[in-house]
């Protein structure tokens, strides 16, 4: 239930500003408002929702300044994943890596924003396997989902195929590092990509500029 709602928010099924009805959601999940409200409260703590008495529970909109700071922090945390309590990849991890690469390849052939977002989320969770530091994992995940929406939000202004290509390249490089057992290198690769992602997504106007003026194909 928590995961479902979080995904819906992060995949923009509920765009920022959407008003969620507690009774409707409770009915949908076949439960009463009470357990649902606990979930909503948690999502509120995580900064994805805000409820106001007498008004409704509303999906928060993306504060670009806050996003920039969150990205800066995520970048450092990605680094720490490689430095704090590293866990070398096991056989299952390497196998899963192949699955990720083939999912990425399929995505390249049939680009689709939502599928991309899902793959990105899964690959993020994958990357957290390589630290045994549970608090670090928790914090990283929390901050990831806080920023996850921004990508889908800006995708109309971006070149989807190029974004996918960049992501594929990140996965390929990560795979190389992990196959060599170098989790530190994998973390640095991720850090680099978070940094670049911040550059692409947050620089300039904060998304208010019309798509036509941004990221024309020949820029690359």
Cβ-based nearer residue to DNA, 55 or 208: 55
42 binds, among DNA, a second copy, none (CB under 5 to 8 A by kind): a second copy
Least spacing, CB of residue 8 vs a second copy, in Å:
20
132 binds, among DNA, a second copy, none (CB under 5 to 8 A by kind): a second copy
Which positions lie near DNA, rule CB under 7 A? 19-23, 31-35, 37-38, 51-57
Which positions lie near a second copy, rule CB under 8 A? 37-38, 41-42, 45, 66, 69-70, 72-73, 76, 80, 84-85, 132-136, 139, 142-143, 146
Cβ-based nearer residue to DNA, 57 or 70: 57
CA distance 57 to 41: 10
CA distance 124 to 144: 8
Least spacing, CB of residue 52 vs DNA, in Å:
6
Least spacing, CB of residue 135 vs a second copy, in Å:
5
114 binds, among a second copy, DNA, none (CB under 5 to 8 A by kind): none
Cβ-based nearer residue to a second copy, 75 or 162: 75
Q: Give the Å distances, CA to CA, from 52 to 14, 49, 65, 189.
A: 18, 10, 23, 41
Cβ-based nearer residue to DNA, 32 or 172: 32
Q: Closest by alpha carbon to 12, among 206, 154, 107? A: 154
76 binds, among a second copy, DNA, none (CB under 5 to 8 A by kind): a second copy
54 binds, among a second copy, DNA, none (CB under 5 to 8 A by kind): DNA
């Amino acid at each position: 239930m928590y995961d479902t709602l979080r995904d819906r928010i992060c995949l923009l099924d509920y765009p920022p500003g959407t008003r969620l009805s507690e009774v409707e959601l409770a009915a949908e999940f076949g439960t009463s408002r009470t357990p649902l409200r606990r979930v909503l409260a948690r999502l509120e703590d995580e900064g994805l929702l805000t409820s106001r008495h007498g008004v409704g529970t509303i999906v928060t909109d993306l504060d670009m300044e806050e996003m920039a700071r969150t990205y800066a922090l995520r970048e450092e945390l990605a680094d720490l994943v490689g430095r704090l309590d590293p866990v070398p990849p096991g056989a299952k991890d390497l196998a899963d890596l192949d699955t990720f690469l083939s999912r990425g390849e399929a995505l390249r052939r049939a680009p689709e924003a939502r599928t991309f977002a899902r793959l990105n989320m899964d690959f993020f969770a994958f990357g957290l396997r390589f630290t045994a530091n549970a608090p670090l994992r928790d914090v990283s995940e929390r901050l990831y989902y806080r920023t996850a929406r921004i990508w889908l939000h800006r995708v109309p202004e971006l070149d989807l195929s190029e974004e996918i290509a960049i992501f594929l390249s990140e996965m390929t490089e990560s795979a190389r590092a992990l196959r060599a057992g170098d989790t530190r290198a994998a973390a640095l690769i991720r850090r680099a990509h978070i940094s670049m992602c911040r550059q692409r997504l947050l620089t300039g106007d904060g998304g208010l500029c019309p798509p036509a003026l941004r990221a024309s194909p020949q820029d690359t």
